[in-house]
Structure 1
Amino acid sequence: MGSIMSEINLKDFFVPNYILSLGSEVERVSHPPVCPVIVFINSKSGGQLGGELLVRYRSLLNKNQVFDLGESLPDKVLHRLYHNLGMLKDKGDLLAAHIEKNLKLIVAGGDGTASWLLGVVSDMRLPHPPKIATVPLGTGNNLHFSFGWGKKNPGTDRESVELFLSQVKSAREMKIDSWHILMRMRSPKEGSSDSIAPLELPHCLHAFHQDGWHLFRGGFWNYFSIGMDAQVSYAFHSERKLNPENFKNQLTNQKAYLKIACKQGWFVSPLCHPPSRNIANLAAVKIMRREGIWEDLVIPSSIRSIICLNLPSFSGGLDPWGDPSKNKLHDRDLTPPYVDDGLIEIVGFRNAWHGLVLLAPNGHGTRLGQARRVHFEFHKGAINHTYMRIDGEPWKQPLSVEDDKVVIEISHSGRVNMLANLPCRAKSVHDPSSTHNYGNRDYYINRDDKFAEEEHEVVKKFGAASTFKFVDDRDIVHYH
């Protein structure tokens, strides 16, 4: 089939070299780009697809506006770009001002790659932050699916890429809540065997040592989970890292994931995992639903995995929270699950069979609650490690068994701009077309105005960029 775009259409997305590299000769542009884009591609994602997409985008656009994340760190690229734009604007360059105002980012990779870029953009605190579209190159692609970009790996031919560019051009802007996470535990005493080994953390999480404390800090946009689901994910990622040749495409990856879940005992967890591993036996959980008011969250004793969920997609497009009826929302003082209402949904699972309920109509996990902040406090000596996952990136987290104050706190921290394509599963509290217009909706709409200035003052960096160094011990809540 022939190209669906003419050469003049592709110029709608073109960013000239002098914008990208300060000192380059200024170019006359007869066709100002309607939708200027910077493209970041994880060439290692999607088997061979990442590398193929990199070649295709560079052949269609200016090759210098397309970056391989294996070679170029996104924070450095964007800091340089916005520095150049600022310098050119100061000289009266109208094209630079136009590009800064209309710039969009295309991010090709899995959930971890998408969150990495979201963290970088959030950290930069730009007056006109770029809107972000995602190309699904991972195994789950939950963030992509939530905003209408699909969950299957895309085609890499010219027509497929041009179609995607046209969708980016017509996509609507949609804000999404950003969630800050902070974990703290005491450093082991000198001579203690209770040591914390170096970790391979997700891109959006950084480790620090300060005044006798181990601190882990970062952010997420889709979900944070603790327990068996993260353990299975960690085993999958470890196996893929050791034998990458066995993970060449999405279908193969999904089959391997299911096989590993069986080996890990996720389907027969009561037989393979002691009750001491259940969430209620590991930690006490508190939530804040209203400003300044903490309350205990009751966790059923059978729950082996807990998920703090912001988007309606988990494990390849499943929705753990589901769509509660109007009566259930009213009876439990809940609100519909919006992605920009400053609330996070908390869901529990007993095992993989419980998770398969999501495949049924109206299926959902155990709805535990909604909150503006979530506080986990691990019981002293309960466990020496656990498994955690943020936006598709799992890790094995050692815990200090000598510390009775190992805590994790999740809090709302602003919003970032996404691009949404149709059909879009994510729902906005401000969208008049939403079918959920009941309950406490007005409370959360008004809350945006009431707390906007406050959130601006306490907003925290997420640690996705290499420049992130700041740590403030006051972020954690102390219970006496």
Structure 2
Amino acid sequence: MLFETLSDYLHGSLSYSLGFIFLGLVTHKVVSCFLPMKNGVVQSPYAEDGLFSDMIIPSRCLKWGRSRYFRGKVTSISNPPRSKKWRPMLVFANKSSGSNQGAVILEQCRKYLNPVQVHDLNEKGPKPTLDLCCLLPDTRFFILVCGGDGTVNWILSQLDQLRLKLQPQLAVLPLGTGNDLSISLGWGASFDEFDSVENYLAEIRFGSPVTIDRWNIKIVPTRARLLSLRNQLKVFSMTNYFSVGCDALIALNFHRQRQRKPRLFSARSLNKLVYFSYGALDVLENHCQNLHMNIDVWLDGKKLHLPPLECLLFLNISSWGGGCQIWNNSLNTDTWKMSDSGDGKIEVVGAASSFHLAQIQVNLSEPYRFGQAREVILIVKNRIPVQSDGEPWEQDPCRIDMRCSTKVTLLAKASKISDESDDILQLETN
């Protein structure tokens, strides 16, 4: 009798009680992993009055969607700080970038900023977090992009679509392979264990705004093929450089191998080694031989007479190939002007081979300098490798038009501006 009573109790009210207790614990655990609830039920992991209070969007200002317990989309930002020094910061990184340094950077940024301001690009695209800029149209945001040149160009392309009243000022924390934009802005070629995220955030306050051109590139196929997607019209923006030939081929081989075996490409030093090996291989194979016979180029309406080439580069910034000042090095200033990323002109240079490119990178040779132009027309006669800002592909015969379309404001490191001023003063003195 006693056994039956105990059995009924265990299968009756006690089981329901245990079930509700278990459900409550799980619910509390899930809620505490997402956004803090109102009235301080779950405490924020960051200090809103801390070191970066002038960059934080306070939680009290955020109004969320209908979801009561889970993080939804921020629908409005009300009563933001009125201090003139208040400049909210948005951070974008991929947790798998830079030997998984991205995960560490995201974790550290969430300690200094409101987690809603820190975005993992590995989970979803940047637009949901960039939309915060639309909620404060009269506030100029800071944006820190932790990644390579391709990631920066992705964020800039998304910002172009928002058409903001006040364009954010963007800084770069280098986690890619080349990081040429970061180098040209003075933020360095890499981020390692000796660098501090806290220092990066602090230095952004003192960064100097720099205007950089964005180039519109339109690719129109010249041999239409029915039901062929690769021959459709293609339009996109370029920030750093566009290239055809062996430079693009090396990037394409690297890209394909990384897609096949992504785990092998987790370290920047290893990535550079693989890049070097593909470059050395092309020195022997010369896949892009006679490139000059497969393309025609017009600069501001004037056709170029090209020598034998295997590579042609169109440069918007001074740095290429991981820090090489390919246009400015050994430049004859009586013939050419120094490159300026905000003058509405693009520098056009060429190389005879992959070996010539390697010599240029170590200052043992100079490139072919063809000119500085506001408009470029490139006719591709046969299938060749091309790349834009580190994103390579094989291009069928087409016409490629390049024109400066917009300008963006990026942040250069304060010491970078000082160094450039010293260099200019030294040139004038000489």
C-alpha separation in 2, matches of 1:75 and 1:313: 28
Q: Give the letter for the 1:10 counterpart.
A: F
Give the counterpart of 2:199 among 163, 167, 181: 163
C-alpha separation in 2, matches of 1:170 and 1:111: 22
Which residue number corresponds to residue 7 of structure 2? none
Which residue number corresponds to residue 110 of structure 1? 148
C-alpha separation in 2, matches of 1:279 and 1:107: 35
C-alpha separation in 2, matches of 1:189 and 1:152: 43
Q: Give the letter for the 1:110 counterpart.
A: G
Question: How does the TM-score come out when normalised to structure 2?
Answer: 0.78
1:105-254 equivalent positions in 2, closer than 5 A? 105-155=143-193, 160-186=196-222, 188-190=224-226, 196=228, 198=230, 214-254=232-272
Q: Deviations over 1:402-431 (max 9, x none)?
A: xxxx20011111210000004438999xx8
Describe the shift of the 1:145–1:336 C-alpha distance in structure 2 as closer, same or farther (beyond 3 A).
same
1:363 CA drift (Å): 4.8
Q: Are residues 1:279 and 2:291 paired? A: yes
C-alpha separation in 1, matches of 2:142 and 2:307: 44
Q: Are residues 1:407 and 2:405 paired? A: no
Give the counterpart of 1:300 among 296, 307, 332: 307
1:23 CA drift (Å): 5.3
Describe the shift of the 1:317–1:148 C-alpha distance in structure 2 as closer, same or farther (beyond 3 A).
same
Which residue number corresponds to residue 89 of structure 1? none
Describe the shift of the 1:25–1:338 C-alpha distance in structure 2 as closer, same or farther (beyond 3 A).
closer
1:149 CA drift (Å): 0.6
RMSD of the TM alignment (CA)? 3.0
Give the counterpart of 2:97 among 27, 45, 48: 45
Q: Deviations over 1:22-57 (max 9, x none)?
A: 457957859786332011112232121112211121
Describe the shift of the 1:231–1:433 C-alpha distance in structure 2 as closer, same or farther (beyond 3 A).
closer
Give the counterpart of 2:409 among 411, 414, 417: 417
Runs of 5+ consecutive residues of structure 1 not aligned to the other structure: 87-96, 199-212, 289-293, 401-405, 439-480
Range with greater deviation from structure 2 (304-313 or 35-44): 35-44
Q: Give the letter for the 1:299 counterpart.
A: L
Which residue number corresponds to residue 367 of structure 1? 369
Tell me if the contact between 1:182 and 1:217 (Cα under 8 Å) persists in the aligned partners.
yes
Q: Are residues 1:396 and 2:394 paired? A: yes
C-alpha separation in 2, matches of 1:341 and 1:248: 37
Describe the shift of the 1:75–1:281 C-alpha distance in structure 2 as closer, same or farther (beyond 3 A).
same
1:378 CA drift (Å): 2.5
Tell me if the contact between 1:186 and 1:214 (Cα under 8 Å) persists in the aligned partners.
no
Describe the shift of the 1:240–1:28 C-alpha distance in structure 2 as closer, same or farther (beyond 3 A).
closer
Give the counterpart of 1:10 among 44, 52, 71: 52
Describe the shift of the 1:169–1:283 C-alpha distance in structure 2 as closer, same or farther (beyond 3 A).
same
Runs of 5+ consecutive residues of structure 2 not aligned to the other structure: 1-46, 65-73
Tell me if the contact between 1:319 and 1:364 (Cα under 8 Å) persists in the aligned partners.
no
C-alpha separation in 1, matches of 2:211 and 2:77: 37
1:356 CA drift (Å): 2.5
Q: Deviations over 1:71-115 (max 9, x none)?
A: 23223432x3234225xxxxxxxxxx4xx13x1101011110011
Describe the shift of the 1:342–1:242 C-alpha distance in structure 2 as closer, same or farther (beyond 3 A).
same
C-alpha separation in 1, matches of 2:401 and 2:427: 30
C-alpha separation in 1, matches of 2:417 and 2:293: 35
Q: Deviations over 1:303-347 (max 9, x none)?
A: 11101001111111112212454xx343x4x32211111111001
1:171 CA drift (Å): 0.5
1:241 CA drift (Å): 1.4
SS in 2 for 1:240: helix
Describe the shift of the 1:170–1:281 C-alpha distance in structure 2 as closer, same or farther (beyond 3 A).
same
Question: How does the TM-score come out when normalised to structure 1?
Answer: 0.71
SS in 1 for 2:404: strand
SS in 1 for 2:176: coil
C-alpha separation in 2, matches of 1:20 and 1:319: 48
Q: Report which of the two structures shows the higher radius of gyration computed on alpha carbons.
A: 2
Q: Deviations over 1:417-466 (max 9, x none)?
A: 000004438999xx89845999xxxxxxxxxxxxxxxxxxxxxxxxxxxx
1:49-88 equivalent positions in 2, closer than 5 A? 49-78=101-130, 80-86=131-137
C-alpha separation in 1, matches of 2:424 and 2:350: 26
Describe the shift of the 1:127–1:424 C-alpha distance in structure 2 as closer, same or farther (beyond 3 A).
same
Tell me if the contact between 2:238 and 2:388 (Cα under 8 Å) persists in the aligned partners.
yes
C-alpha separation in 1, matches of 2:80 and 2:165: 27
Range with greater deviation from structure 2 (346-355 or 171-180): 346-355
Q: Give the letter for the 2:284 counterpart.
A: V
Tell me if the contact between 2:222 and 2:399 (Cα under 8 Å) persists in the aligned partners.
no
Aligned residues: 372
C-alpha separation in 2, matches of 1:279 and 1:337: 25
